[in-house]
């Protein structure tokens, strides 16, 4: 297990007072908060920053950490000596709304030192009471096609749990989860009993999986409605054509009406994401022009320029052309 | 421990969350949820017009509210933001996400 240098994480001196710690925390939280940050490792950094604040802004925890941490460097291998915490009492900071943090938000280092008791909601070490385990959260990314057919996903989760000796250990486990047909982006699947183990005979918590779709330039998804970009040739657009399109639910043959322009949408009712009220699939036509990279193609474009009385900048309802 | 047989779960929205389930999923007390609903920062469906024995409304919460509640909690906690400010930030983030989705 790696030793965590919480002072270094927050970029403060060991003599920093509460105000300095708060200021450093807020500056880093603005940079790394996963809801607003563009940094790739934002979520990991935010957890580290939160954990550092959790310890350094609490007088009891900071005192215990300082006594334990002197002489250790961040990243070095570390195991707390047995009984190191004798004489320290970690009071939970219950009340209020609770911390909103789960065991997955803390490192092995933190869990081994402070256990669940170190967390602000102070809900742990009450093994004498029967208490339901905490719920966990994870994100799962699936392809849009999986929402049409349903699928299974293997996910790996790490969570803190108490071993037989009552110590907090991190356990890694793999779950094979069935993704039901018709799931929407942002929707959750609740797996009963797959969260933290309960205490004192209490039931285990649940695991909430938030579903997200793999980014795909071809599709835009709005609830159960799906818009698919379909490239077509100028002659298919102008003369009309029957074209084959590969949709998330398989091949379909679609009639492109004559005189179609880019952005025209063809609605295929009920071919969106399945459900009690299935969504619709919108095929958004995009006219793609062939390059004039051969003598023949240049000749054809030149013939069109000669023969066709066409200026898109002078069409009714379009903005005036640029000079 | 590996489970080879796929585990099936309950799709939230098909079965919406109660106030207690949402509170537990967010690791907050139900008073936090109730206050945020009453202040208009979280939305819910009122399933019945009658109140139960504890004088608690029968609220049901969709998946979207679980995501929203967890963001509100994170902003209130991480930035010591008051609920109004956290809600404003989440509203703006939702709007940005919607605009990006339309692009």
Instruction: Write out pLDDT tens, residues A127-165.
Output: 456 778 888 888 888 999 999 999 998 888 776 666 676
Closest CA to A139 of A186, A205, A191: A186
Cβ atoms of residues A253 and A230 within 8 Å: no
Task: Inform me whether the C-beta atom of residue A100 falls under 8 Å from chain B C-beta atoms.
Answer: yes
Mean pLDDT of chain B: 86
Number of Cβ pairs < 8 A linking chain A and chain B: 114
What is the model's pLDDT at position A127?
A: 44
Q: What is the pLDDT of residue B8?
A: 86
Q: CB–CB of B7 and A209 under 8 A? A: no
**Contact across the interface for B8 and A180, Cβ inside 8 Å:** yes
Q: B3 and A220 in contact by Cβ < 8 A?
A: no
pLDDT at A156: 83
**A236 Cβ partners below 8 Å, 6+ apart?**
A243, A256
3-class SS string, A229-295: EEEECHHHHHHCEEEEEEECCEEEEEEECCCCCCCCEEEECCCCCCCCCCCCEEEEEEECCCCCCCH
Is the minimum CB–CB distance between A121 and chain B shorter than 8 Å?
yes
Q: Which of A21-30, A37-46, A70-79, B39-48 has the lowest mean pLDDT?
A: A70-79
Whether residue A122 is predicted with pLDDT greater than 80 in this model: the reply is no
Pairing of strands B10-11, B45-46: unpaired
Q: What domains lie within chain A, and their CATH numbers?
A: 1-125 (1.10.287.110), 133-214 (2.60.260.20), 219-313 (2.60.260.20)
> By the CB < 8 Å criterion, does A134 face chain B?
yes
**How many other CB atoms sit within 10 Å of the CB of residue B27?**
24
Out of A97, A101, A210, closest to residue B67 by CB? A210
* Assigned fold of B19-102: Multidrug-efflux Transporter Regulator; Chain: A; Domain 2 (1.10.1660)
Condensed to tens digits (0 to 9), the pLDDT of residues A217-259 reads 899 999 899 999 999 999 999 999 999 999 998 999 999 999 9
Share of chain A above pLDDT 90, in %: 40
What is the rounded average pLDDT for all residues in chain A? 82
Under a CB-based contact definition with an 8 Å cutoff, are residues A116 and A124 in contact? yes
Per-residue pLDDT of A33-49, as tens digits, reads 888 888 888 888 888 89
Query: Of residues A116 and A75, which shows the higher confidence score?
Result: A75
pLDDT-derived band at A80, boundaries 50, 70, 90 = low
Q: Are A199 and A167 in contact (CB under 8 A)?
A: no
Measured between alpha carbons, how far is residue A102 from residues A55, A124, A168, A295, B70 in Å? 16, 11, 14, 67, 11
pLDDT at A115: 63
pTM for the predicted model, two decimal places: 0.73
Helices B30-38 and B83-102 pack at an angle, to 10 degrees, of 70
pLDDT in tens, B40-58: 999 988 766 555 556 566 8
Q: How confident is the model at residue A97 (pLDDT cuts 50, 70, 90)?
A: very low
| Nearest C-alpha in B relative to A220 | B101
Average pLDDT (A15-44) is: 87
In this predicted model, which residue has the larger pLDDT, A166 or A221? A221
Q: The tokens 């207690």 sit on which residue? A: B20
Interchain contact, A97 vs B10, CB within 8 Å? no
- Rounded to an integer, the average pLDDT of A189-198 is 87
Q: What is the pLDDT of residue A83?
A: 58
pLDDT tens, residue by residue, A260-291: 999 999 999 999 999 889 999 999 999 999 99
Locate A220 and state its tokens.
Answer: 């835009």
């Amino acid at each position: 297990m790696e030793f965590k240098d919480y002072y270094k994480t927050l970029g403060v001196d060991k003599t920093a007072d509460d105000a300095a710690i708060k200021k450093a925390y807020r500056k880093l939280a603005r940079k790394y908060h996963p809801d607003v940050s563009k940094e790739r490792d934002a979520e990991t950094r935010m957890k580290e920053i939160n954990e550092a604040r959790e310890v350094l802004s609490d007088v009891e925890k900071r005192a215990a950490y300082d006594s334990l941490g002197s002489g250790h460097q961040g990243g070095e291998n570390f195991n707390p000596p047995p009984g190191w915490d004798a004489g320290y009492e970690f009071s939970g900071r219950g009340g209020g709304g609770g911390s909103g943090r789960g065991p997955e938000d803390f490192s092995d280092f933190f869990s081994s030192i402070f256990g669940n008791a170190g967390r602000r909601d102070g809900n742990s070490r009450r093994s004498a009471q029967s208490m339901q385990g905490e719920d966990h959260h994870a994100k799962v990314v699936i392809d849009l096609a999986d929402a049409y057919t349903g699928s299974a996903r293997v996910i790996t989760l790490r969570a803190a749990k108490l071993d037989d000796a009552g110590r907090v250990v991190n356990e890694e486990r793999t779950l094979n989860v069935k993704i039901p047909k018709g799931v929407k982006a942002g929707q959750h699947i609740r797996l009963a009993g797959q969260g933290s183990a309960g205490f004192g005979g209490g039931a285990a918590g649940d695991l909430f999986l938030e579903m997200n779709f793999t980014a795909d330039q071809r599709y835009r998804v709005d609830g159960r409605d799906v818009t698919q970009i379909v490239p077509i040739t100028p002659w298919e657009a102008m003369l009309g054509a029957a074209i084959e399109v590969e949709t998330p639910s398989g091949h379909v043959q679609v009639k492109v009406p004559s005189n179609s322009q880019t952005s025209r949408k063809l609605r295929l009712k009920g071919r969106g994401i399945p459900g009690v009220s299935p969504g619709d699939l919108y095929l958004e036509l995009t006219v793609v022009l062939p390059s004039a990279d051969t003598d023949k193609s240049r000749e054809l474009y030149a013939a069109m320029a000669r023969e066709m009385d066409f200026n898109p900048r002078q069409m009714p309802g379009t903005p005036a052309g640029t000079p | 421990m590996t489970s080879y047989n796929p585990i099936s779960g309950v799709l939230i929205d098909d079965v919406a969350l109660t106030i207690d389930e949402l509170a537990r999923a967010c690791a907050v007390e139900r008073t936090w949820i109730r206050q945020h609903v009453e202040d208009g920062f979280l939305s819910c469906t009122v399933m019945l017009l009658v109140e139960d024995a504890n004088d608690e409304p029968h609220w049901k919460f969709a998946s979207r509210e679980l995501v929203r509640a967890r963001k509100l909690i994170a902003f209130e906690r991480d930035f010591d933001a008051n609920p109004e400010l956290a809600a404003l930030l989440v509203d703006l983030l939702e709007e940005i996400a919607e605009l990006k989705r339309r692009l």
